[in-house]
Amino acid sequence: MKRIIFTLTLVAIACFAANEVRAQEISIGASGISFNDSNLSQQTVEPVVFSTIIYVDKKENSTAVNVGRNARTTLPTFELGWNIPTNVSYTNYIGTDAGEFFELRNIKSVQATLNIASGAAYSRRCRMGITAGLGFRWNNYRFDNPAMTLAKDNGMIMPSPIAEYKGNSPKKSKFTTAALHFPAELIFGNPSLVALSLGGYVDLTINNHTKIKYYGGHKEKEWKYPTEFIQAGAVARLRFKGFSVYGAYQPTQLFKAGRGPEMSQWTIGIGFF
């Protein structure tokens, strides 16, 4: 407690001693929670702005709940991309009859991201800033062969044919991962108009499963395949006023070493604020 009081005292003294400091105000609105300088004419660097996908705006005794407006960040509230595995290697399967089984329908292999919170610090004078966030990400890998799924054989991922279910053949088959998403990007330009951002992300895989859907509506899932816990990559993004386009490269492996096909991944997509 003494350490906290001492720290707060130092902060208070520093605030009163600074020549440029003016009265601060806290506002809650479309961009979330912001800390603004009351003398905007002398402000050259915007303070940190925290944005959430849900904010509450009270007007005339009524409350409106709105979804997703991150005004000073290049991180969209929702992203939708398409996964393209690259450098796929099956060296772990030499001597088996597995074949090149991780073949995808790329148009159906989508990446969905929901950024639930983000923060940004931005300089108007330099037209540069930095932003970071927290969200959830799902990667879907839709197999080109709907009659094939993944199976675990002594810790190894192997292709497995899908049998009919009560006379119904399989309609589609896919593999899905879910992860906590931690993006961070450098901003160049004006996020309210046009801005370029470069950065990266770290995803912590929290779950994965295969899913089979049959004609007739029956579904089956199998959980807990040997995937890497940490996924990381680089991203480039171009933000316009209400949407963005992005491209990402993920060099980390999807499956644990020696347990499945080796591959890296490209993703291209769009984002909405």
Domain boundaries defined on the chain: 78-272
pLDDT, one tens digit for every residue, the chain (273 residues): 444 444 444 444 444 444 433 334 444 444 444 444 444 444 444 445 555 554 444 444 443 333 334 457 889 999 999 999 999 999 999 989 999 999 999 899 999 999 999 888 888 888 899 999 999 999 999 999 999 999 999 889 999 999 999 999 999 999 999 999 999 999 999 888 899 999 999 999 999 999 999 999 999 999 999 999 999 999 999 999 889 999 999 999 999 999 999 999 999 999 998
Which tens digit of pLDDT belongs to each residue from 24-57? 444 444 444 444 444 444 444 444 555 555 444 4
Which tens digit of pLDDT belongs to each residue from 74-107? 899 999 999 999 999 999 999 899 999 999 998 9
Residue type at 264 in one-letter notation: S
Q: What is the pLDDT of residue 48?
A: 52
State if pTM tops 0.85: no
